[in-house]
Amino acid sequence: MTDTSETPDGPGDPGSVRDEEAFHIPDDLAQGLTEFAAVEQLSRGEAICLILREYLRAKGYLKGAPAA
């Protein structure tokens, strides 16, 4: 499953997604993401950002206080 629904379009290129911005999300992860977003009442994009932020912070790649 390729998720391009929340990927911004390139400048001057409305309606299309550049290859470097598109990525494949395996079906099991996409289902888990959808369920997580629904339970947490977040958009898929917000859910992805939250998951990445917490993971990167836990691994030491992101500094600073957690977002509220």
Q: Tell me the per-residue pLDDT of 3-44, one tens digit each, with 9 for 90 and over.
A: 444 544 445 555 555 556 678 999 999 999 999 999 999 999
Residue found under tokens 């369920």: 35
Three-class secondary structure of residue 67 per DSSP: coil
The reported pLDDT for the residue numbered 23 is 82
The single-letter code of the amino acid at 2 is T
Q: Give percent helix, percent strand, percent coil of the chain, each to the nearest 5.
A: 45, 5, 50
Average pLDDT of the segment spanning 41-48? 96
Please check whether residue 55 is in contact with residue 16, taking contact to mean a CB–CB distance below 8 angstroms: no
pLDDT at residue number 67: 61
Burial of 39 (0-12, 13-18, 19+ CB in 10 A): exposed
Per-residue model confidence (pLDDT) at position 64:
78
In the chain, domain spans: 1-68
